[in-house]
Amino acid sequence: MFIAVYLFIIIVCIVYFEKCLRRNAKFPELSRRLPFIGHAHLFVGDSVHLWKIAQRISRESLQNGGLVTISFGPKKVYAVTDPEDINTVANLSMEKSYIYGFSRPWLGDGLFTADVLTWRNNRRLLNQAFKHTILDGFVDVFNNQARSLVDELAAEADLEKIYILNKLSLHSLRLVFKTILGVSDQEVTPEKFNSYLETNNILHNIFTKRFQKFWLHSDIVFNRTKLKIEQDYAVAVLHGVNAMVLKNRKEIRRLNLENGTQDYSGEQKPFIDLLIEIAEEKGLSDMEVIHELATFIAAGHDTVPYTLLYTLMCVGSHPPVQQRIYEELQQVLGSDDVTKQNLSSLVYLEATIKETMRLYPIAPVVSRVTDCDVKLKNPISSTYFCYFLINCEILQYHQGPVSLCLHHHPVWGSDVEHFKPERWLDPTTLPENAFAGFSTGKRNCIGKTFAMMSMKTTLAHLLRQYRVTADITRMEAKLDIILKPAFNHWISLEWRDK
């Protein structure tokens, strides 16, 4: 009898709670919300499933005029897909959402995860390391690494299928170790690089699992799981490498200062030296420097290889695009190396990378918290009026290969679904605020010029030497922190001068 009464009271409460929510719902909400937990159940599954959910959210958001709400229990998230709204949010809210906090044991107060106050200060200081004049000094390193990659791939040329991702990751990690840490290939064995990559992937996996299982969002629960033990171990391994590099670098700097010498013989000094200088000036601890290094290594090498892979796959799937790139390379470079002067003439290659990033952005979801009211366009009516979103969390969903969102928004025109690098050649014809491959607003990617320069150099060397074949329409993707290929991401390479 008592059980029946309790059940009755619970059902009445649920119905009342639901009615209140619906009455107060000002915004369209994602379908399939459950009482109390909201949409949290939709995210449970593997990372292929997570990508499908992200695409569904972005599709529903666009169908609802550019905004849809998602509930995680009492927490409400606004998924924004309208270009104007995304621009508004990105410019007003610099604070990252609590989900980024999952990576704090690894990245600490590094630029990517830092709170706004710390971020403002550090971004200003670190911006100087990413100026064009500084990055120009890395072009020789980009060329040397690209040449090594071309040579390494020779053994696999003419095979029917190559899974090139691991080689691209290794290439990007070496590049980052050289330019960010000042560590040459000879100082780190291939096994150590591979173990760094594996550990890095383990961490991605742990963060994704934690995000998908909403009960693990709480530190109290998560800290009692096996995942936490695995996370601690992985973080210790990566920090161990960073700490060792930092110690060696400080020693080299000390000796250089004592002897009045420098050890980068004409090359640009690595980012770590600037960081050590800032740390000495500001009294930062070694752990703070390690967190910043971890951030730049992660952000630098996690992103580039995936964008390179997707570009090669797009190029391999579109022979006329490949032919035009080849002709541009012949005309601009011939058989010469890339230089800071000729790099800017590779306009069609750059357009191809941007078009790839439009269709396959490695960071398709960016999450922010607002600390002020944000006025957005009315997502339901076609007339424009405004809503106030108060202290809410906002997700920007831009793009997905099959879904309609920022990078697939109708503002791109009727050929929005086509891979068409030509659309980038005349900037005056591009839609406003509709590209966020490097994010947008003040807290966008600090490494975007570095990334573009290194990717253009690598692709110039590769595509001059090899003809690529691929079929990107068969690739399946997963969302494992970033957009990664899950299946069918092979390419084949053929020597051009055979």
Which residue from 307, 311, 322, 370 is in contact with ligand HEM, where contact means CB under 6 A? 307
- 141 vs 445, which CB is nearer to ligand HEM? 445
Radius of gyration of the chain (CA): 24
- Region of 34-42, 68-76, 280-288, 446-454 interacting with ligand HEM (CB under 6 A): 446-454
Tell the smallest beta-carbon distance from residue 305 to ligand HEM (Å). 9
* Options 102, 142, 196, 438; binder of ligand HEM; rule CB under 6 A: 438
Q: Can you state the angle between helices 286-317 and 319-332, rounded to 10 degrees? A: 110
φ/ψ bin of 299: left (φ > 0), alpha (ψ from -120 to 50), beta (otherwise): alpha
Query: Which of 103, 303, 317, 469 is the binder for ligand HEM (CB under 6 A)?
Result: 303
**Nearest to ligand HEM of 68, 181 (CB atom):** 181
* Binding window for ligand HEM (CB under 6 A); candidates: 36-44, 48-56, 222-230, 445-453: 445-453
Contact between 437 and 290 (Cβ < 8 Å): no
Q: Does 447 bind ligand HEM (CB under 6 A)?
A: yes
Closer residue to ligand HEM in complex, CB, 366/475? 366
Q: In the chain, what are the helix, strand and coil shares in percent, each to the nearest 5?
A: 60, 10, 30
Tokens found for residue 331: 């005309």
363 lines the binding site for ligand HEM (CB under 6 A): yes
CB 431 within 8 A of CB 83: yes
Distance of CA 297 to the CA centre of its chain: 13
Give, in order, the Cα–Cα distances in Å from 439 to each of 127, 358, 486: 16, 11, 23
Q: Please, are residues 380 and 64 in contact by the beta-carbon 8 Å criterion? A: yes
Q: Does 441 bind ligand HEM (CB under 6 A)?
A: no
Exactly one of 450, 458, 464, 493 binds ligand HEM (CB under 6 A); that residue is: 450
Determine contact, residues 112/299, Cβ cutoff 8 Å: yes
Residue 437 is a binding residue for ligand HEM (CB under 6 A): yes
| Residue 296 binding ligand HEM, by CB under 6 A | yes
Rounded least distance, CB 95 to ligand HEM, Å? 10
The span of 157-165, 196-204, 423-431, 439-447 binding ligand HEM (CB under 6 A) equals 439-447
Instruction: Tell whether residue 396 is a contact of ligand HEM (CB under 6 A).
Output: no
Is 405 among the annotated ligand-binding positions? no
Burial (Cβ within 10 Å: 0-12, 13-18, ≥19) of residue 101 = middle
Report the nearest approach of ligand HEM to the CB of residue 446 (Å): 5
Question: How many chain residues bind ligand HEM (CB under 6 A)?
Answer: 23
Decide: is 451 part of the binding site for ligand HEM (CB under 6 A): yes
Which residues are paired to 101 by β-bridges? Answer: none
Which tokens belong to 393? 């969390």
Crossing angle of the two packed helices 271-282 and 165-181, in degrees rounded to 10: 50
Q: Under the criterion CB under 6 A, does residue 379 sit at the interface with ligand HEM?
A: no
The answer to the question of residue 314 lying near ligand HEM (CB under 6 A) is: no
Give yes or no for residue 446 binding ligand HEM (CB under 6 A).
yes
Alpha helices per DSSP H over 95-183: 104-107, 116-127, 132-135, 139-153, 165-181
CB 96 within 8 A of CB 395: no
300: contact with ligand HEM by CB under 6 A: yes
Nearest distance in Å: CB 192, ligand HEM? 20
Query: Is residue 197 near ligand HEM by the rule CB under 6 A?
Result: no
Residues 297, 176 contacting (CB under 8 angstroms):
yes
CA atoms within 13 A on the CB side of 196: 24
Strand runs labelled E in 332-380: 365-369, 374-377
Binding mask 109-148 toward ligand HEM (x if CB under 6 A, else -) reads --xx------x---x-------------------------
Q: Does 204 bind ligand HEM (CB under 6 A)?
A: no
Using Cβ positions, the residue closest to ligand HEM within the complex turns out to be: 447
Nearest one of 25, 148, 246, 219 to 458, comparing CA atoms = 148
Query: What's the chain's length in residues?
Result: 498
Q: At what angle do helices 286-317 and 165-181 cross, to 10 degrees?
A: 140
Most distant pair of Cα atoms in the chain: their distance:
88
Contact region for ligand HEM (CB under 6 A) — 7-15, 204-212, 235-243, 291-299?
Answer: 291-299
Window contacting ligand HEM (CB under 6 A); options: 182-190, 242-250, 443-451, 485-493: 443-451
Q: Considering the rule CB under 6 A, would residue 272 count as an interface residue with ligand HEM?
A: no
Binding site as annotated, residues: 445
Residues near ligand HEM (CB under 6 A) are 111-112, 119, 123, 295-296, 299-300, 303-304, 307, 362-363, 366, 437-439, 443, 445-447, 450-451
Binding site for heme, residues? 445
